[in-house]
Structure formats: C-alpha cells, structure tokens
Amino acid sequence: MNFFESLLTHSPALIVAVPLLGAFLTPLISKINDKIRNAFVVFIVGLTGVLISMLSYDVLMNNKMHNYVFGGDSALIMPASGESFAVRIIFAVDGLNAFMIIIGAILAFVGVIYSWHFMKEHTGLDKYYTLVLLMIAGMLGMMLTGDMFNFFVFLEITSISSCALIAFYTNKGKSVLAGFKYIVISTIGALFILFAIALLYGQYNALNMAVLANSIQFNTFTDKIALVLLISGLGMKAGIVPMHMWLPDSYGQAPSSVTLILIGTTQAGLYALFRMVFTVFGRHITSPIELTIAGNNILAGTNLNSIVGIILVVLAILTMIIGVMMALKESDFKRMIAFAAVAEIGYMVLAIGAAFFTLSPSEITIEGVQVTFYSFSQAGQMAIKGGLFHIINDALDIGLLFLVAGAIYYVTKETSLNKLGGLARNMKFTTIFFIIGLLAVSGMPPMNGFASKLLIYESIYLINPILAIVAILCSILLLATFVKVLHSVFLGPKIPKFDEVKEVPASMLIGMGLIAIVIIFFGLFPNLILENIVQPAADALMNYSAYIGGSLL
Amino acid sequence: MIYQIPFIAVAGLILIGLYAVIFKRNLIKIVIGITLIESGVNLFLITLGYRQGSLAPIFTGNPNVDKAMSLPVPQALTLTSIVIGVAVLALMLSLIIHIYRHYGTLDVKKLAKKEADEE
Amino acid sequence: MSGMSKIVKTISNIAFPFVLIYGLYIIAHGHLTPGGGFQGGAVVASGCAMILVSYGSIWTMKKVKEKQLSILESAGAVSFIVLGFLGLVYGSIFFNNYLVGNDYLFGEVPAIKSTLANFNTAGILPLMNFAVGLKVIAGLFAIVLVMAYATSKKKGEIE
Amino acid sequence: MITWESFLGSFDTGSGIWNPLVWVLSIIFILLIVYSIRRYGKTGYKEKTDQTQSFLSGNPEYEKEQMHIKASNMYWGFTESLKFVYKILDRMHTGNVSDYVLWFVIVLGCIFVLIGVI
C-alpha cells in the first residue's frame, strides 16, 4: 500500500484528529509569534480540507463507502461466549457524509482566512483559534460519525466551543447573554438526545447506527419516545421554528467568522435529523416492506411516513413564514440575516418533508410471496435532491452575507441598519459581494440559490401546489428584505460620519471572494454539482439498507 | 416494584429539572435545573448498565469469576457525560459571572428587559 | 477572596499531600480500578481548590500563573492526541493499542480469567490516563482559580 | 467521472428543465440592447453649476443624514397592515431563556401526541 492509499484509508480519522491536534498545539505555538500561529491554523485547516476533498472524491466518484474503526479492525468484538457486540467507535462515510463534510471544509477554511484580519485587534487570540479548531473538529466529527454516543460527544464539543466563541466579546453584555442562552438551549437539547440514545441502547444493546437501523423493531413505546426526542432535540439544534429563538441571538452576537462556522454546526444538526429519520428509523419511516404470505398481510415495519411528513412540513412552513416575517421587520443587520437563515432552513425541511408524501407502494411477487416495497416517486426524489442541494447553497449564501455584515462592522463598528448608509462609494468590492449574496439567497438566476430553489418549487408543485406557492412567496419576501439592506447600508447619500471609511483588508476580501466564486460556479454549472455531488448524497439518504450493508461488512 | 424505583427517580429528576429551567427566574437556579436533568439522564444510563445476576466489570479477587460480567459500556458513557457536564457547568457559571457584572441582576425577566432597552 | 484563619491553613497543609497522593493513585490505577484520568485529576484539582480557598485567590494567583496551567493543559491534550497518532504509525490504526505484547512498558497480557490486578498491563491505556490526568488537573484548577480571582474583584477592576 | 456534458448540461426539475447557459446568452443580448440605447445619451455636463444640485420642488436640500431613508421606516405599509401578526410574533420572541425551553417542551409534546399516541 503506497502512501496515498494509506492516507485515504485513514482520512476519516485524520479529518477529525488533525484539527484536534492543531487546537491543542495552538496555545503552545502562539507563544512564538502571532503570524506563525495564524499561518499554522490556516495550514491545519487547509490540510483538513485536502484530506476532505480526497475522501469525498473517492466516496462520491467511485460510489464506495469508507469505514474506519478506532482501535481495531472491526466494529464488532466477539468475547469467548460467542455473541458479538458492536462496541468500537466507527466512522462510516457514505455519500451523504461526504456531501456534508465538503460544506464543513469550505466554511471552515473561509472562516479561518477571514479571521486573520477580522480578529487582529483583539486579545486572547490563542484561545480564539483553539476554540475555532475545536469547533471545526466537533462539526466534522458530527458529520462523519457512525456511532450514536460519539455523535453526542461531538455535539457537546461543538456546543461548548461555539458557546465560548459566541461570548467572545465579553465586554458586551448582549453577547455574553447570547452565549448563555445558547449553552442552556444546546445542553438541554443534547441531554434529551442522550436520553433517546440511552433508550435505544437499553433496548437493542447497540450504539452503532447501522446495527440500530438493522435491529430496531418499533413495536414498543420507548422506541416512539426515542424518535420523538430525537426529532425535537435535533430540530432545536437545526433551528426549526418555534425552537429557533436562540439562533438570531447567537448568530447576531458572535464574531462573523465564528457565525460562518456556526452555520456549519447548525446544518450538521439538520444532517443528523435526516440521518435519524431516513437511516436509523429508515425501515419504519421511509422504506417499510409488506409481505403477503398466503393471504396474511405482515407488515415488516410501521408505516409512519405520513405522520413524520406532516410534522416536518408543518414545522417547515412555520419556519419559512415566521423567519422571513421577522427578518423583514428587524433593523439589526446580523439578526436580520440570522432570521433569513432560519427561513432558508425551512426550505430544506420542506423539500425533505414533502417527499414523504410521495412514498408509494410497488408490488413484486417472489416465489408466491407478495412483497410490497415503498419507494419515493420521481417528484419526491427531485424534492430530496433539491433539499440537499439547498443545504450547500444556503451555507454559502448566508455565509457570504454574514461575512459582508462582519466587514461592515469591521469598518464602522455598527450593526444597526438605521445608522448606516452610503457605504457603496467607499467599499466597492464588499458591495459587489453583497449583491451576489443578495441575488443568491433570494433565488435569482444565475446564482446557486436559483438552481436549488427551482428544483424545490417545481417538484413540490407536483406534490402539493399550495406548498410551492408559500415557498415562492417567502422567497419574494426574502428578496424584499435584502433590498432594504442594500438600500439602507450601501445606497443613499454619503453620511459624513463614514467619510473616512476604507475597503476592508485583503484576507477578508479573499474570504468573501472565495465564497462568491463558489456561488457563481455552482450557479453556472448546477448540473455538474447535481450529478456528481448531490445525486450520490440523495441516493445514500434514500437507501438505508446500503448504509447498513456498507458499514457492517 | 423495587426495580422500577431508579426509573421513577429518573423521571422525577428530569421533570423537576425542567420545572426549574422553565419557571424559575434566577439564572443560578436555571443552571441547577440543568444539572438536575443531567443527573437524571446519567442515572438512567447507569441503571441500564445493570443486568440481573451479573458481576461488576472489574478484575478483582472475586471467586464467582465464572458468572457473566455486565458490559461496561453504560458506565463509560456516564463518565463521559459527567465530564462533559463539568465543562458545561464551568462555562455556564463563568458566563453568569460576566452577566452579573454587566447587568447587575440575575433575574431572567429583568435581563430580557435590560437587553431590549440597550441601544 | 482573602485567606482564611491559621487553623484552616495548617489543616489544609497537612491534608493536601494525602489528597494529592490519592488522586495520583486513582490516575495511575485507571486501567485496573474504577476511575482514571478524569476522576483522579478531579481529586487532585479539588485538593488544589482547598489550598485556594484557605489561602485566598490573590495569594494563589501569585504562586501559580494561569499561563503555566494552560501550557500544562495543552501539553496533556497534545500527548493524548499524539498517542493516537502513534497508534497510526506503529499499529496502522488510529488509537491502536500498539504497546500490548511488548516486554518492557505496560505490555503484559493477563491470562484469561486471571483475577489478580497486574499493574504492568493494558498497553497505552495508562499512558492515556496520565495525559488526561494532566489535562484535567491543569484545566480544572485553572477554571477554579480564574473564577475565584474574577469574583474576588469588584466591578470594573478587570475588563 | 466528470464529463463536458455534465458541465454544460441542463437538469430536470420534475416538471421542466433549467440551463444557465440560455440565461447567460440572453443576459448578454439584453446588455447589448442596453448599451446601444445608452450610446444615444448626451455626454458631458457642467460641474459646479445647478445641474449637479438635486431639485426638490424648489425646497432647500436637507442634510445628508436626514435625506437617507432609515431602514425601520421601510415597508411601513406591510408591517402596519400585518400588525396583528407582528403582535403575536413579538410576544413569542421574548429573549428569555425559560421561554425558549418552554417552546421546546411544547413542540416535544405536540410531536409526542402525533407519533406516540396516534
């Protein structure tokens, strides 16, 4: 085995281990020099990015699943008694995981580059970079792990480090309060998730997601409670209305570079919600099988899809409408973008939730046994593809807008929209980046937001026209929201207070430019992204048995 | 009945904790509520580790070594959870120190009012 | 927070070595008994906290700098991760227990169903316990120290 | 493997197709029209004369900061006509940690009723 192949084999572990090592080395290195420390952090995140692109390329292009077991060869251990227990921690990487870590890599890299100049004038930067790297490691761990308890641990690592980062401006009372709210909310959510994990462990003696998916019977009350706790706990982590109130507080008060990575952690929560619903409870929610043997109908699994679909769609509609209406009224720049982010999350949940209604039975007769499979229709598959594509687009668009808000804050020390104005004359590049973000987030061609929103609208129109109309209406309101920002921050007469304002430093422009380039690239070649990245992820999401087969063998 | 007592305690701890978090107005009491929920969940995990008639998973001079040992996974999970809990508790308390320094109060409603009035 | 009376100081001086030894014992026997790096570290850190309470945070802050503690803490964390990476180098799997079966350090393999606790077993687990113990001692003590120091000052004295 | 077809291809959206290439071509065409109209405009104006002053029906010009319409004044009609909705929304967003947890418990209860009981 040559070096490259062994690196590829070990990459799932290294993706988490390299930022962790970097996080603990940063306080030691920052004793030398500030520039060396910044370069070291960028190097560590870049190395992680290279590993992620290697792994994702292999998983997505060759359509194969990577498994990495810590401390042994197989996740199962067999004591002398002959039974086998899946006790080792496993990282199982299929198409969906590979798709998510690409988002994580982009956000982490841009965030670290952006903070080079953005955070320069603050003290305590060694702790800042340690926490950022810890947060990146936790986020990538959440996206990679195939073990329920390990997922909880990474969730807590992420929430602790991001809470400390939200409260980074300790001289402002608001940001400390936002950090406190965030830690209370995320701890309670995580504890209920842990409770659900414990319920599942008590029943099936397993923590491995594949083993659980294989053995869940869903015939007891505790299974139902576990599903309820998982949906609501992870929904809270993903910021679904009405559990979204922590999100504007924390997004609004954190430093912009941190907010960028916070978006990644929120979407890791969303990913986990989809993973639980589609894979761990997949047999009972998305792909139940009915057997008819000699006239007797045996349902191998419980058909829960319509109930879960209704829950997701109702929450998604609420999320879109309330998010966008609060954004329209808000007069604080960062809180407004945060409410827009809430509304965008609604689109993803709506697309995935509406797909549940298209599950339809198809019958096959094998050796006299009539088997009924449930599978997604064409429109449902399109909706799932659109929802997944929108995850990456939303991360980029909202991320770019937050970076612009950070740039405005950097030069004016002001986030209130009422006090800003006329900045386009002095900040040309920032204005262009903001217009790109505005067009992308409200779904205008040729930006990436249009491609995914078009997929969502047209596929949902086939499922239920009213849902599509609500989605389009919310998109229009989003456009109105950001046109207001464009007017009140960038256009209008030059305000004397901001006469001396200059364009932001190079590293911040590079950070915003990178995301803007990716946005335009995704917008101009959506077919490339859909075929090569989104399609494998959607296939992995819809086929829970491939996950079980791939990670247990 | 005797085997159900830990589960009743778990439910009680979690409900008391939720009550404290939702209805108490002092931030310190909210933190106490969170630790109560956390100990409820930890108690639940450790209760799951018990299997009737099995030995504790420690190598000692116990003569009944032929009997089955219970799998020590829940104990490990509980320890990890406790460690995380300590970190969260320390973070929350230090944030409370900062909050008190800024606003001079720990009452949730007064804090919300003061936050809205700011700027 | 200023120091407490002389009686308290003397008693905590006497008790501190015992607490220290007990905590280190728990760390060292983490692979044999219930306990390990975190538990032992917490015991040692509570011993340190006892000294902190009896002598006051300002005195302790003069003796122990927060920076030294944070260096110790990251040293512990780095050694933990490096042990994982060494597993990758020697055993071709991350966190592989590559020390099992060697002749000199923690390498003995106990016989099946042996009941006696043998200290020289378990491969890298004791080393990991030491690393975690170091991190927890430094980390917890730093938290307690900084919190005590911050609450002892009045509003506006430190940022 | 990545092919040129997948680079420039159009994708199926369930009830239609979308290809950004068409959009790019049409935007270039529109830009050409805009440019050709713009060419007929007159060049050159006299600086430091009344031509550069803004004309507000003969009224004197306000200060710069007052000229700028504030963000919270925009979409006044929208927020005014939907006041009853915003009243409810403002009551929801109290900024109070306990209420956040209360909403979580409410959602937990609703989902529990939907999945667990029915």
Find the mean pLDDT for residues A82-98: 81
The answer to whether residue D10 neighbours chain A at the CB level (below 8 Å) is yes
Question: In this complex, which of B61, B75, B94 lies closest to C147 when CB atoms are compared?
Answer: B94
Find the mean pLDDT for residues C34-48: 86
The answer to whether residue B116 neighbours chain D at the CB level (below 8 Å) is yes
Q: What's residue A1's pLDDT? A: 61
Tell me if B58 is assigned to some domain: no
The answer to whether residue B79 neighbours chain C at the CB level (below 8 Å) is yes
Q: What are phi and psi of A66, to 5 degrees?
A: -100, 130
A172 pLDDT more than 50: yes
Tell me if B61 is assigned to some domain: no
| C37 — pLDDT class (breaks 50, 70, 90) | confident
**B99, exposed or middle or buried, with CB in 10 Å at 0-12, 13-18, 19+?**
buried
Subunits with at least 3 CB pairs below 8 A relative to chain D? A, B
Q: What's residue A518's pLDDT? A: 92
In the numeric block, the tokens 């420039």 are attached to D8
The answer to whether residue B98 neighbours chain A at the CB level (below 8 Å) is yes
Strand A289-293 relative to strand D17-18, pairing: unpaired
C84 to chain B, minimum CA–CA distance in Å? 18
Find the mean pLDDT for residues A57-72: 83
Report helix, strand or coil for D14.
coil
Contact A195, A187 (CB under 8 A): no
Find the mean pLDDT for residues C67-73: 84
Contact A388, A541 (CB under 8 A): yes
Q: B14 and A195: CB-CB below 8 Å?
A: yes
Question: B interface mutation test: which of C115, C140, C141, C158 has the most B CBs within 10 A?
Answer: C115
> How many CB atoms are located within 10 Å of the residue A177 CB?
27
Q: What is the mean pLDDT of chain A?
A: 86
Contact A279, A213 (CB under 8 A): yes
Q: How far is C-alpha A233 from the geometric centre of its chain's CA atoms?
A: 15
Mind listing the pLDDT tens digit for each residue in A353-387?
888 888 887 777 777 777 777 788 888 888 899 99
Structure tokens at A287: 């792909």
Distance CA A258, CA A112 (A): 9
Subunits with at least 3 CB pairs below 8 A relative to chain A? B, C, D
C115 pLDDT more than 60: no
Residues of A at the C interface, defined by Cβ within 8 angstroms: 6, 10, 13-14, 17, 20-21, 23-28, 31, 68-73, 80, 130, 170-171
Q: A450: Cβ–Cβ under 8 A, 6 or more apart, which residues? A: A440, A443, A444, A523
Q: Residues of B with CB below 8 A from C150's CB?
A: 94, 97
To the nearest whole percent, how much of chain D has pLDDT over 70? 95
The answer to whether residue D94 neighbours chain B at the CB level (below 8 Å) is yes
| Domain of residue B96, residue span | 2-52+70-117
Distance CA A237, CA A262 (A): 11
Q: What is the CATH number of the domain that holds B77?
A: 1.10.287.3510
Q: What is the DSSP letter of A503?
A: P
Among candidate residues A20, A7, A14, A275, the one with its CA nearest the CA of residue A136: A20
Question: In this complex, which of A24, A27, A170 lies closest to C81 when CB atoms are compared?
Answer: A24
Q: A531 and D16: CB-CB below 8 Å?
A: no
| B60 — pLDDT class (breaks 50, 70, 90) | low
A7: left (phi over 0), alpha (psi -120 to 50) or beta: alpha
Nearest CA in chain C to B68: C113
Contact A478, A340 (CB under 8 A): yes
Nearest CA in chain B to D104: B22
Mind listing the pLDDT tens digit for each residue in A282-333?
877 777 666 666 666 665 555 677 888 888 999 999 999 999 999 988 888 8
HSE (CB half, 13 Å, CA atoms) of A212?
29
CA distances to A136, A144, A157 from A154, rounded to whole Å, are 10, 10, 5
Query: Bridge-partner residues for D56, per DSSP?
Result: D59
The answer to whether residue D109 neighbours chain A at the CB level (below 8 Å) is no
Q: What is the mean pLDDT of chain D?
A: 82
Mind listing the pLDDT tens digit for each residue in D44-88?
777 777 777 777 777 777 776 777 777 778 888 888 899 999 999
Contact A412, A503 (CB under 8 A): no
Q: What's residue D22's pLDDT? A: 84
Q: B108 and D95: CB-CB below 8 Å?
A: no
Mind listing the pLDDT tens digit for each residue in A182-227?
999 999 999 999 999 999 888 888 888 888 888 887 777 888 888 8
| C153 — pLDDT class (breaks 50, 70, 90) | low
Q: What's residue B117's pLDDT? A: 81
**A173, exposed or middle or buried, with CB in 10 Å at 0-12, 13-18, 19+?**
buried
Give the type of residue at A225. I
Question: In this complex, which of C33, C150, C155 lies closest to B58 when CB atoms are compared?
Answer: C33
Mind listing the pLDDT tens digit for each residue in A330-340?
888 899 999 99
In the numeric block, the tokens 């991350």 are attached to C94
Mind listing the pLDDT tens digit for each residue in A153-162?
999 999 999 9
H or E element in which residue A275 lies: helix A256-275
pTM, full prediction: 0.91
The answer to whether residue B48 neighbours chain A at the CB level (below 8 Å) is yes
Q: A24 and C77: CB-CB below 8 Å?
A: yes
Nearest CA in chain A to B116: A174
Tell me if B81 is assigned to some domain: yes
- Are there at least 3 beta-carbon pairs closer than 8 Å between B and A? yes
Q: Residues of D with CB below 8 A from B108's CB?
A: 96-98
The answer to whether residue B43 neighbours chain A at the CB level (below 8 Å) is no
> How many CB atoms are located within 10 Å of the residue A477 CB?
22
| A525 — pLDDT class (breaks 50, 70, 90) | confident
Q: How far is C-alpha A386 from the geometric centre of its chain's CA atoms?
A: 15
Q: What's residue A75's pLDDT? A: 67
Q: Residues of D with CB below 8 A from B30's CB?
A: 97-98
| C96 — pLDDT class (breaks 50, 70, 90) | confident
| B13 — pLDDT class (breaks 50, 70, 90) | very high
Residues B14, B19, B25, CA angle at the centre, nearest 5°? 135
ipTM of the complex: 0.90
**A305, exposed or middle or buried, with CB in 10 Å at 0-12, 13-18, 19+?**
buried
To the nearest whole percent, how much of chain A has pLDDT over 70? 94
C113 pLDDT more than 70: no
> What is the SS3 assignment for chain C?
CCCCCHHHHHHHHHHHHHHHHHHHHHHHCCCCCCCCHHHHHHHHHHHHHHHHHHHCHHHHHHHCCHHHHHHHHHHHHHHHHHHHHHHHHHHCCCCCCCCCCCCCCCCECCCCCCCCCCCCECCCHHHHHHHHHHHHHHHHHHHHHHHHHHHHCCCCCCC
A175 pLDDT more than 60: yes
Contact D18, D11 (CB under 8 A): yes
| C154 — pLDDT class (breaks 50, 70, 90) | low
Find the mean pLDDT for residues C113-140: 79
Q: What's residue C158's pLDDT? A: 44
Q: What's residue B109's pLDDT? A: 86
Contact A515, A106 (CB under 8 A): yes
CA distances to A294, C2, C3 from C14, rounded to whole Å, are 82, 20, 17
Number of domains in chain B: 1
CA distances to A63, A337, A448, A479, A480 from A473, rounded to whole Å, are 38, 18, 19, 10, 11
| A132 — pLDDT class (breaks 50, 70, 90) | very high
In the numeric block, the tokens 């990245």 are attached to A533
Q: Residues of D with CB below 8 A from A480's CB?
A: 75
Subunits with at least 3 CB pairs below 8 A relative to chain C? A, B
| C159 — pLDDT class (breaks 50, 70, 90) | very low
List the end-to-end C-alpha distance of chain C, in Å, as a whole number.
18
**Residue bearing the bigger pLDDT, B60 or A38:** A38
In the numeric block, the tokens 């047209």 are attached to A458
- Altogether, the residues listed in chain C come to a count of 159
- Are there at least 3 beta-carbon pairs closer than 8 Å between D and C? no
Distance CA B48, CA B41 (A): 11
Q: A446 and D24: CB-CB below 8 Å?
A: yes
Among candidate residues B68, C75, D65, the one with its CA nearest the CA of residue A31: C75
A420 pLDDT more than 50: yes
